[in-house]
């Protein structure tokens, strides 16, 4: 298979930041898309609202913690892109069990449903599973370090997905995005947090630690990595880093965002935003060699270009944010 055109695909977590971008890309490529969205009684569909009433995307409401509902959603699909997860690191300190239930048990439900349906699985990991880099750039062989309840739950989810490859020969690929950013991202992440404050006219930008470095990947590049992984037989049973191979400190990133927004704001460290001692991940820098060699994927959008596009989107959607309020 070298195309997803005409194939039936399911995206879990489809209404979110990366999920909705992936749905758009799949629709553009001619896939028959089913979207599993978290059930809400008011039927709001987030970034998928434009597809309500259309024939391009079939909406299925549910929860990955419910094995029966997951099984119904996966039935008849050729490929499942599993993105549904609890992702906020600060909230994982407050509600760790919720992360186990959604991220680990939810992944088990999705993998079991894929096995029953004969569907291949592209499972979403995170660079947070590596913890602070012991060696850099980070390859897929880097030790896994659970420095937060969130990262621990994602390590468990990754291993659960891969166990279905080893035990049952389910076609599974684990994609491990490094810090994805871009339009539609919520203020729980650092880039929209900074931009929303800037575009609201703040004279000070309040942040946690300024020294950690991150490898930021634009959201369309990440979504393209998901597609490349799904289309590559060589990627079955493998873990693939999706990152640019470049890093930037949070303090320097803030300065670039201030410039992109045309602001003169100053950066102030806010103690309430600091992670607990021993939990801060000081450095994340990807080695994407494996993804390039097995799938042909490579990032295309530069950080400068991506920050400008993201800044413009936040400015145009400022009413979706609460500038100045720290969102756990």
Kindly list the structural domains of the chain, giving each domain's residue range(s) and its CATH number in brackets, ordered by start: 8-182+217-242 (3.40.50.720), 190-212+247-284+301-320 (3.90.25.10)
**Which run of H or E residues covers position 112?**
helix 106-117
Quote the pLDDT of residue 112: 98
* CA proximity to 18, closest of 130, 119, 126, 142: 126
Residue numbers in the chain where pLDDT is lower than 50: 1, 326, 328
Q: What DSSP line would sit under 55-104, residue for residue?
A: SSEEEEEE-TT-HHHHHHHHTT-SEEEE------HHHHHH-HHHHIIIII
> How many CA atoms lie less than 13 Å away from 27 in the CB half-sphere?
17
> Whole-prediction pTM value?
0.93
Active site members: 150
Quote the pLDDT of residue 40: 78
Residue environment code for 43-54, b if the CB has 16+ CB neighbours within 10 A, otherwise e = eebebbeebeee
Quote the pLDDT of residue 328: 46
Quote the pLDDT of residue 39: 82
Quote the pLDDT of residue 323: 62
């Amino acid at each position: 298979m070298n195309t997803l055109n005409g194939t039936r695909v399911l995206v879990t977590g489809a209404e979110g930041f990366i999920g909705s971008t992936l749905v758009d890309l799949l629709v553009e490529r001619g896939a028959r898309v089913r979207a599993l969205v978290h059930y809400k009684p008011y039927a709001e569909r987030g970034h998928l609202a434009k597809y309500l009433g259309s024939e391009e995307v079939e909406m299925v409401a549910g929860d990955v913690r419910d094995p029966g509902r997951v099984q119904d959603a996966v039935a008849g699909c050729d490929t499942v892109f599993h993105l549904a997860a609890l992702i906020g690191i600060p909230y994982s300190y407050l509600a760790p069990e919720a992360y186990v239930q959604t991220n680990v048990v939810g992944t088990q439900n999705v993998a079991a449903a894929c096995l029953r349906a004969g569907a291949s699985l592209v499972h979403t990991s995170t660079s947070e599973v590596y913890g602070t880099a012991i060696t850099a750039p980070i390859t897929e062989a880097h030790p896994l370090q659970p420095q937060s309840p969130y990262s621990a739950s994602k390590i468990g989810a990754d291993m659960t997905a891969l166990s279905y490859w080893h035990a049952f020969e389910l076609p599974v690929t684990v994609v491990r995005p490094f810090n994805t950013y871009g339009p539609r991202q919520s203020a729980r992440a650092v880039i929209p947090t900074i931009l929303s404050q800037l575009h609201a006219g703040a004279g000070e930008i309040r942040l946690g630690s300024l020294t950690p470095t991150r490898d930021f990947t634009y959201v369309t590049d990440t979504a393209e990595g998901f597609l490349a992984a799904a289309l590559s037989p060589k990627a079955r049973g493998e873990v693939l880093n999706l990152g640019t191979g470049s890093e930037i400190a949070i303090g320097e990133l803030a300065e670039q965002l201030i410039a992109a927004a045309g602001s003169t704001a100053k950066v102030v460290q806010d103690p309430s935003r600091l992670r607990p001692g021993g939990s801060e991940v000081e450095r994340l820098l990807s080695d994407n060699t494996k993804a390039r060699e097995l799938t042909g994927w490579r990032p295309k959008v530069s950080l400068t270009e991506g920050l400008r596009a993201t800044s413009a989107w936040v400015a145009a959607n400022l009413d979706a944010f609460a500038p100045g309020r720290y969102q756990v």
